[in-house]
Each structure stands twice: as structure tokens, then as C-alpha cells.
């Protein structure tokens, strides 16, 4: 249980604070009880040990560490405002949580405090089909929104695989398989509502309905990717896309992963309008074959999707891509034109992470998330695979290679500290090499605590000092997701 914030809260109340452990624990308990009483009139609150542990557990290797002292379940922006106001008054740290699908330790409550669970904020507030926009609460998930949109001819295009909340996706600037065509959360969030320190409610981006604006600081862009360190996102105005008139999916094996990577770079350079372009190496193909019964050849394989207004246009794009594939020693194309076949194919791709985990029962995954220029993709993947091989770790590799983003899934026994340490070293070296190649250590998963050591190398000290200044301006007491982006922990 974190107690330093409790001592400060009691000191402001005029109560003396001894520094013995027993007294510190008692101080923390007093403040938690006070906060629980205040919040009980606002929303549901839980102090259950199981609920608290759940809200410190994500998809990473170190699960359930650093739990909160209390969990609140608001259902509106007004509720969140009151919760944040109470936490600010008592100087209690807080982290907003959603579907708990993050990978980089975003949910570690390093100073204890409160988890603000937004999953009860699950209302779709409005949809304007003519403008192709929707306004949603932060707890709406992408699958929920797409089910709601099913009969409108529209869909929400950002697809990270997991059924994450849109608030969490915005906070981490998520993307996924469709990013090569539709962009990331940065591109589809037109505006948002957030609660800042003291419970202040701000509406960023105006209504968010206009396609562009050149007025004022872009506060929406500042909040997107801030990982909950500046405030709590409570509503989003998102841009939707029209369902394409024709879609064709295809898989294509290659003898080498380098051949597949260089092929992708040439396809993009030739202007083929890819909707999706995913890479699975031979190890990943073996895992998905076992998990999803695909029966693909166990070779590095590209998964393509082509979309357009007519079947003839889509077929032309696929033929052009096919000729480039042949030039790089790939093929043959195996097409899936029916909706059922495509769904099965892409479901298997989305389940590749869980298929990889199932290939080594009881393991967890240390996942890299580098993104490099397409011209450097083959070199980056080759280096990453070599690093994993050197330490003897099984490492299925998957990626959204149409935009240079890929993941090494380093499978480790969480009870074996040597394996975990080796995997983290490989992840750090892979991230550092990506930065050397002109890329980034994280294309879509975010920083959390896992990528903090690489930020100075990627951005430079001056940029990190600017981030600290922004954090102090908007969160003067350092209560939103402390110890992460915007904190001194960024400086290596």
C-alpha cells in the first residue's frame, strides 16, 4: 500500500505523522476510508482485494503488481469530475482503466491510490451518418460500436485486435491492422471531453464534428497518446468510414522473412492501396494453424486485404500486388473472397497472440512494438529475430508491416526470472535498434513503464523536459498515472 500521499493529506488536515511503517499504513487507511465515504455518494466503489488486483492486471508479464487501494465505477463525465475533485483535495493518485488489455504496465499503481474504471460509461451518445461521425462515452468498445453501426453502412476503422475501450485506445494512441489505410486513433478522434486536475471539465476540439480546424492549441491531440497522465478522457467524437463495396483477402507465403518485408516496401512504393497488410513468420503460422486450424504452409506469410468500390478495381489492385510478390519469390496467392472466409482468416490473425501463448502452455509474452521506415523493415526484423535466437527464446513474429510496425512475441515462463530478464533485454535492444534506424520503440502499444528507458534516446532531453512542463501545468500535483510519461522516470 502506498502511503506517502496519505501522510501529505493528513498533514494538510493538521494531523501529525509518524514515519513508522505501522503508522504510515494506518494513515493510508484513514485517507482511503475518507475517500471511499466521499465517493460512495457519487458512484459504485469497491475495496475488494480481488477487484483491486484485477485493476492492476493487464496482458503483460508482471500481472497484478502495484494494485490500487480503491476502485471507483463512474457512469458519466459529471461522476468523473466529482471523483477527480475528491482525489485532488486528498492528493490521492489515480489511474483511469478500461478493458485492461494494455501491455506496457500502464496499470501499475506505483503510488497506490484510486483506479477510475470507465467501463460503466458505455453509452453511444449520437451517430451522424451524413457526417460519418459518432460521439461515445469512453467505456464504449470498438466491437460494441461496430455492432451498433452494422445497418448504417459505416464502421469504426481502428482495429487493434483486442476489444478495447475507445477511451483506452485514444489514451494509448492505438492503431492495428487497418492503420495502413485508415490511420491511428490520432487520425480518427475529432474531439473529446476530459476531466483535469481539480475536476475541471474541458471539451477539446470544439464539437469535433468538423473535418478540420485551425483554432487554438490542439488539445485533443495532446490528450490522445497521453496515457492518462494529464487527465481522464470521458467522451470522444470519432470519425467513421464507409463500408467498402468490394473486398478481397489473400495469403501469400515466402521462403524468407526478408523477402516478405522487402516485397511490402515495394508494393507500398508502387501506390497499391492496401487496406491491410500483415506478416506472420513461420513460428507464428505454426501457432495459428494449431490454434485456428488454418492449414497454411509453415513459412513467413503475408496476409493482404484489398478494398474498393467495385470488384474489378479490387481485382486489379490484387493482380498488381501479385506481380510484385512473384518478383520477390513469393506466392502463390490464395484468395478468400467470401465474407466467411475473410472473417476466418482475419480472426486467426487477430488471435495470433493467444495462439502463440497456447503454443507454450503457462507462458506469458514480452511483446516488442517497434515501427521503422519501410526501407529498414527487413533489417529491423532480421536483427530482432537474431537477438531472440541468441538467448534461446521462442519468438513468433507478427506485424502490421504495411506501415512498418511489427511485434516480436517473446514467450517466457513468468516464474523463470532469467527468461524474463533475457526477454526484456531483447525488447530493449530491439527498440534501441529501431530508433537507430529512424523509427520508434512503440508504434501502437504506448510507453507505460516498459518503454520509459528508451524515451530520451528517441526524443532527446529537451523534448522530455517539455513533456514534464506540460504535465506540471495540467497536473500540478502529479496525481494522474504518476511515475510514467511526463515524470522524472523518463530520464535515463
Q: What is the pLDDT of residues 309-366, one digit of tens each?
A: 888 889 889 889 999 999 998 988 888 767 888 888 888 888 898 999 999 999 989 9
pLDDT at 209: 83
Q: How confident is the model at residue 18 (pLDDT cuts 50, 70, 90)?
A: very low
**Mean pLDDT score, 438-463:** 96
Whether pLDDT at 16 is above 50: no
Q: Are 152 and 130 in contact (CB under 8 A)?
A: no
Please state which of the ranges 5-14, 190-199, 210-219 shows the lowest mean pLDDT. Answer: 5-14
Report pLDDT for 200: 98
For 12: left if phi > 0, alpha if psi spans -120 to 50, otherwise beta; the answer is alpha
Per-residue pLDDT band for 24 (boundaries 50, 70, 90) equals low
Find residue 274's DSSP bridge partners.
306
pLDDT of residue 331: 82
Q: Determine how many CB atoms are found less than 10 A away from the CB of residue 11.
A: 13
Question: Cα(136)–Cα(61) distance, rounded to whole angstroms?
Answer: 31
Which residue is associated with the grid cell 513468433? Answer: 396
| SS3 of residue 131 by DSSP | coil
**What are the E-state strand segments in 343-479?**
364-367, 397-400, 405-412
The mean pLDDT of the chain is 91
* Cell 468490394, residue located: 246
Nearest Cα residue to 488 out of 458, 463, 457, 464: 464
**Percentage of residues in the chain with pLDDT exceeding 90?**
75
Q: How far apart are CA 171 and CA 161, in angstroms?
A: 16
- Between CA 353 and CA 307, with CA 367 as vertex, the angle to 5 degrees is 55
b/e per residue, 329-339, with b = 16+ CB within 10 A? ebeebebbeee
- What are the E-state strand segments in 56-123? 70-73, 94-97, 114-117
Please give the Cα distance from 276 to 175 (Å, whole number).
12
Phi (first) and psi of residue 70, to 5 degrees: -160, 150
Stretch 30-40: mean pLDDT: 92
Confidence band (pLDDT; 50, 70, 90) for 45?
very high
Confidence band of 15 (pLDDT split at 50, 70, 90): very low
Q: How far apart are CA 282 and CA 102, in angstroms?
A: 26
Instruction: Name which of 209, 222, 232 is nearest 79 in CA terms.
Output: 232
Instruction: Give the whole-angstrom CA distance, residue 121 versus residue 383.
Output: 43
Give the helix/strand (H/E) hosting 196: none
pTM (2 d.p.): 0.91
As a whole number of angstroms, the distance between CA 262 and CA 264 comes to 5
Cell 494453424, located at residue: 289
State residue 471's pLDDT score: 97
Amino acid at each position: 500500500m502506498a502511503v506517502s500521499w496519505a501522510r501529505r493529506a493528513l498533514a494538510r488536515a493538521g494531523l501529525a505523522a509518524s514515519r513508522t511503517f505501522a503508522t504510515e499504513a494506518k494513515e493510508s487507511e484513514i485517507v482511503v476510508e475518507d475517500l471511499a465515504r466521499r465517493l460512495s455518494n457519487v458512484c459504485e466503489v469497491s475495496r475488494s482485494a480481488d477487484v483491486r488486483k484485477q485493476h492492476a492486471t493487464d496482458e503483460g508479464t508482471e500481472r497484478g503488481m502495484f494494485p490500487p487501494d480503491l476502485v471507483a465505477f463512474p457512469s458519466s463525465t459529471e461522476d468523473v469530475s466529482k471523483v477527480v475533485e475528491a482525489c485532488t483535495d486528498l492528493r490521492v493518485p489515480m489511474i483511469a482503466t478500461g478493458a485492461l488489455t494494455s501491455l506496457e504496465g500502464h496499470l501499475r499503481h506505483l503510488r497506490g491510490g484510486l483506479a477510475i474504471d470507465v467501463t460503466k460509461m458505455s453509452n453511444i451518445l449520437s451517430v451522424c451518418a451524413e457526417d460519418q461521425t459518432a460521439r461515445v462515452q469512453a467505456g464504449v468498445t470498438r466491437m460494441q460500436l461496430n455492432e451498433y453501426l452494422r445497418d448504417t453502412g459505416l464502421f469504426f476503422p481502428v482495429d487493434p485486435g483486442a476489444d478495447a475501450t475507445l477511451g483506452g485506445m485514444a489514451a494509448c494512441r492505438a492503431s492495428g491492422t487497418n492503420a495502413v489505410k485508415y490511420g491511428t486513433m490520432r487520425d480518427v478522434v475529432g474531439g473529446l471531453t476530459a476531466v483535469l486536475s481539480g475536476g475541471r471539465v474541458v471539451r477539446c476540439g470544439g464539437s469535433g464534428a468538423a473535418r478540420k480546424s485551425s483554432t487554438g492549441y490542439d488539445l485533443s491531440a495532446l490528450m490522445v497518446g497521453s496515457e492518462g497522465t494529464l487527465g481522464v478522457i470521458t467522451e470522444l467524437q470519432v470519425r467513421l468510414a464507409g463500408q467498402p463495396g468490394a473486398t478481397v483477402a489473400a495469403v501469400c507465403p515466402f521462403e524468407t522473412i526478408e523477402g516478405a518485408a522487402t516485397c511490402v516496401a515495394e508494393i507500398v512504393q508502387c501506390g497499391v492501396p492496401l487496406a491491410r497488410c500483415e506478416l506472420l513468420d513461420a513460428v507464428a503460422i505454426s501457432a495459428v494453424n494449431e490454434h485456428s486450424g488454418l492449414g497454411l504452409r509453415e513459412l513467413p506469410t503475408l496476409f493482404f486485404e484489398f478494398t474498393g468500390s467495385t470488384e474489378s478495381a479490387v481485382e486489379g489492385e490484387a493482380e498488381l500486388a501479385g506481380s510484385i510478390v512473384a518478383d520477390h519469390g513469393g506466392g502463390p496467392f490464395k484468395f478468400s473472397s467470401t465474407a466467411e472466409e475473410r472473417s476466418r482468416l482475419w480472426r486467426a490473425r487477430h488471435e495470433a497472440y493467444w495462439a502463440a501463448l497456447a503454443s507454450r502452455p503457462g507462458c506469458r509474452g514480452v511483446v516488442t512494438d517497434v515501427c521503422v521506415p519501410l526501407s529498414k523493415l527487413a533489417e529491423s526484423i532480421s536483427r530482432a529475430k537474431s537477438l531472440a535466437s541468441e538467448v534461446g527464446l521462442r519468438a513468433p513474429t507478427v506485424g502490421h508491416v504495411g506501415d512498418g510496425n511489427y511485434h516480436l512475441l517473446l514467450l517466457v515462463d513468468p516464474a523463470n526470472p532469467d527468461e524474463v530478464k533475457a526477454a526484456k533485454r531483447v525488447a530493449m535492444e530491439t527498440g534501441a535498434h529501431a530508433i537507430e534506424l529512424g523509427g520508434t520503440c512503440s508504434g501502437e502499444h504506448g510507453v507505460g513503464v516498459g518503454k520509459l528507458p528508451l524515451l530520451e534516446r528517441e526524443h532527446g532531453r529537451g523534448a522530455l523536459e517539455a513533456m514534464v512542463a506540460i504535465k506540471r501545468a495540467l497536473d500540478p500535483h502529479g496525481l494522474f498515472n504518476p511515475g510514467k510519461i511526463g515524470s522524472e522516470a523518463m530520464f535515463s
